[in-house]
């Protein structure tokens, strides 16, 4: 058979980006060609996200768009990832042009599934788990960046927060061995990558079945031992996301203090600033305990930047309860905050609650929290003006080809004028201007 070209579109979180990279690696190994654009590709794979309703709707809109956009021969369309895992067979009925549905554990098998479709089978479906011992190998050629790499350390989630679909779309927690992770990081370092981001829905609960690779590293939890093991590879920068308050041990902060290459950024979603709502969300901690974690981060002798996620308009959330969230945001002075309107997810415990917060009220709360955060952030960002920051130059800035763009160790976006020869290097930049979500500076 001739070589087929495949275009992959990725929605959602870093885990999906990483899964797409695995799919791309396998496809190349099996003789498929990867296409940057959808226009002429023989196969279009949508790697989907189901975290909120809007994300899910995007998939079906996109499938229709693809179908309408082609005058001639239709491409083979496959739906992968979280929506595929949750909706399964029903996708074939709602979008009859889809020929392949493959869930979150099928990355390895995509080439053979595509071969089955090409062989004439219609409606090929695979919702099975990742094979025992399946490798996570990713070719450097298909990584989303030549300088920053995502390294999954744990998949799935056991927390079952009542609003969240992740435990259903990605199943129970499974940790990779530290040996494999460290090996990945060493390879990435040899390939010239400057930053790794250890990723997982809840990285703090990292718990491999065997100790292989953690021997000789101290730490209060397997995760903080893993951080020390990964930092010891000498990789220029190590970041990790996402943390979970109940599992966020103070020893993580200690590890960051011990190793300069562990970056000074912690993403610690809080979701609400009210104890009744936190209980209804089944987060397993109170506001007071969250603030203790925040204090551990903020009292560090390294200046660690803290970011968070908050959901507004959870079913039953009153005005007063929302105001507690405003007060918490004020106290925490997050360096960045992702705000979401509660979105009902079928099959989650919260979907059984009566959602009595109107759409308009959700919007009002969203804007009110956003306003507050913008004021806090403006202060935080202005504080950087005049300071020197280290930036990994990752590529050209979105606005101008004479500017480069990168991230600080505290994960802030910085744009600065410099020639392309600096791309891939860590440079020193003097901050001259603060924007709402980025800094501007001069190369030193």
343 lies in the binding site for ligand 5AD (CB under 6 A): yes
Least distance CB 179 / ligand 5AD (angstroms)? 29
Distance, in Å, from the CA atom of 198 to the CA atom of 306, rounded to the nearest integer, reads: 17
Buried b (16+ CB within 10 A) or exposed e, 63-88: beebeeeeeeeebbbbbbbbbbbbbe
Distance, in Å, from the CA atom of 377 to the CA atom of 47, rounded to the nearest integer, reads: 33
Give the total of residues touching ligand 5AD (CB under 6 A). 12
Helical H segments across 30-122, by residue range: 53-69, 81-87, 90-94, 110-118
164 lies in the binding site for ligand SF4 (CB under 6 A): yes
Least distance CB 117 / ligand SF4 (angstroms)? 32
167 lies in the binding site for ligand SF4 (CB under 6 A): yes
Backbone angles phi, psi at 325, to 5 degrees: -65, -40
Binding span for ligand SF4 by CB under 6 A among 154-162, 173-181, 297-305, 416-424: 154-162
Instruction: Outline where DSSP puts E strands in 134-231.
Output: 148-152, 154-155, 174-175, 195-199
| Binding partner at 201 among ligand SF4, ligand 5AD, none, C-beta below 5 to 8 Å by kind | ligand SF4
Distance, in Å, from the CA atom of 145 to the CA atom of 423, rounded to the nearest integer, reads: 11
311 lies in the binding site for ligand SF4 (CB under 6 A): no
Element (DSSP H or E) covering residue 20: helix 14-29
Looking at 35, 161, 263, 268, which residue binds ligand SF4 (CB under 6 A)?
161
- Take residue 184 and report the two structure tokens written for it: 């990945």
Least distance CB 332 / ligand 5AD (angstroms)? 15
Distance, in Å, from the CA atom of 275 to the CA atom of 325, rounded to the nearest integer, reads: 10
| Binding partner at 340 among ligand 5AD, ligand SF4, none, C-beta below 5 to 8 Å by kind | ligand 5AD
Residues 162 to 201 in contact with ligand 5AD, rule: CB under 6 A: 163-164
- Take residue 47 and report the two structure tokens written for it: 């790697």
Give the total of residues touching ligand SF4 (CB under 6 A). 10
Give the pairing type, strands 98-102 and 76-80: parallel
Residues 71 to 130 in contact with ligand 5AD, rule: CB under 6 A: none
- Take residue 401 and report the two structure tokens written for it: 């080809």
Least distance CB 158 / ligand SF4 (angstroms)? 8
| Binding partner at 345 among ligand SF4, ligand 5AD, none, C-beta below 5 to 8 Å by kind | ligand 5AD
Distance, in Å, from the CA atom of 383 to the CA atom of 375, rounded to the nearest integer, reads: 13
| Binding partner at 167 among ligand SF4, ligand 5AD, none, C-beta below 5 to 8 Å by kind | ligand SF4
156 lies in the binding site for ligand SF4 (CB under 6 A): no
Give the pairing type, strands 195-199 and 148-152: parallel
Residue with smaller CB distance to ligand 5AD, 228 or 345: 345
206 lies in the binding site for ligand 5AD (CB under 6 A): no
Least distance CB 113 / ligand SF4 (angstroms)? 27
285 lies in the binding site for ligand 5AD (CB under 6 A): no
Q: What is the DSSP letter of 262?
A: B
342 lies in the binding site for ligand 5AD (CB under 6 A): yes
Looking at 157, 263, 270, 328, which residue binds ligand SF4 (CB under 6 A)?
157
In contact, 149 and 141? CB cutoff 8 Å? no
3-state secondary structure of 177: coil
Residue with smaller CB distance to ligand 5AD, 241 or 397: 241
Distance, in Å, from the CA atom of 17 to the CA atom of 143, rounded to the nearest integer, reads: 9
In contact, 304 and 298? CB cutoff 8 Å? yes
Looking at 103, 269, 336, 441, which residue binds ligand 5AD (CB under 6 A)?
269
Give 58: exposed, middle or buried? Use CB within 10 Å, 0-12, 13-18, 19+.
middle
Binding span for ligand 5AD by CB under 6 A among 227-235, 276-284, 342-350, 376-384: 342-350
Residues 307 to 336 in contact with ligand 5AD, rule: CB under 6 A: 309, 311
Per-residue binding string, ligand 5AD, 43-72, x by CB under 6 A, is --------xx--------------------
Which residues, 6+ apart, have CB-to-CB distance to 443 below 8 Å?
A: 416, 417, 418, 422, 427, 428, 429
Positions that interact with ligand SF4 (CB under 6 A): 157, 159-161, 164, 166-167, 201-202, 244
Positions that interact with ligand 5AD (CB under 6 A): 51-52, 163-164, 269, 271, 309, 311, 340, 342-343, 345
């Amino acid at each position: 058979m001739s070589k087929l070209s495949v275009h992959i579109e990725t929605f959602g979180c870093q885990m999906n980006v990483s899964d797409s990279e695995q799919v791309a690696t396998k496809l190349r190994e099996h003789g498929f060609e990867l296409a940057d654009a959808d226009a002429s590709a023989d196969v279009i794979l949508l790697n989907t996200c189901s975290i909120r309703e809007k994300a899910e709707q995007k998939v079906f809109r996109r499938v229709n768009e693809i179908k309408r956009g082609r005058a001639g021969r239709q491409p083979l369309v496959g739906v992968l990832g979280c929506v595929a895992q949750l909706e399964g067979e029903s996708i074939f009925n709602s979008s009859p042009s889809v020929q392949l549905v493959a869930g979150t554990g099928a990355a390895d098998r995509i080439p053979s599934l595509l071969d089955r479709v090409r062989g004439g089978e219609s409606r090929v479906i695979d919702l099975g788990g990742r094979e025992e011992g399946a490798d996570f190998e990713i070719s450097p050629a298909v990584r989303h960046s030549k300088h920053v790499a995502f390294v999954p350390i744990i998949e799935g989630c056991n927390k079952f927060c009542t609003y969240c679909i992740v435990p259903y779309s990605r199943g129970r927690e499974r940790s990779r061995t530290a040996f494999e992770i460290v090996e990945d990081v060493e390879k990435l370092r040899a390939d010239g990558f400057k930053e790794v981001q250890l990723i997982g829905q809840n990285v703090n609960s990292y718990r491999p079945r065997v100790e292989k690779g953690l021997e000789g590293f101290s730490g209060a939890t397997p995760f903080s031992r893993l951080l020390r093991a990964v930092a010891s590879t000498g990789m220029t920068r190590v970041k990790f996301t996402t943390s979970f308050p109940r599992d966020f041990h103070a020893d993580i902060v200690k590890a960051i203090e011990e190793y300069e290459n562990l970056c000074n950024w912690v993403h610690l979603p809080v979701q609400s600033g009210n104890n009744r709502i936190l209980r209804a969300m089944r987060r397993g901690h109170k506001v007071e305990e969250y603030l203790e974690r925040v204090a551990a981060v903020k009292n560090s002798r390294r200046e660690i930047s803290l970011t968070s996620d908050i959901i507004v308009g959870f079913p039953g959330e009153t005005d007063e309860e929302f105001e507690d969230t405003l007060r918490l945001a004020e106290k925490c002075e997050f360096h960045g905050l992702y705000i979401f309107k509660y979105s009902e997810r079928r099959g989650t415990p919260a979907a059984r609650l009566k959602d009595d917060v109107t759409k308009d009220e959700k919007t009002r709360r969203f804007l009110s929290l956003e306003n507050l955060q913008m004021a806090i952030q403006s202060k935080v960002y202005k504080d950087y003006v005049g300071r020197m920051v280290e930036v990994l130059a990752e590529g050209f800035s979105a606005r101008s080809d004479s500017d480069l763009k990168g991230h600080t160790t505290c994960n802030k976006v910085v744009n600065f004028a410099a020639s392309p020869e600096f791309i891939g290097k860590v440079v020193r930049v003097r901050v001259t201007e603060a924007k709402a979500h980025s800094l501007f500076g001069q190369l030193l």
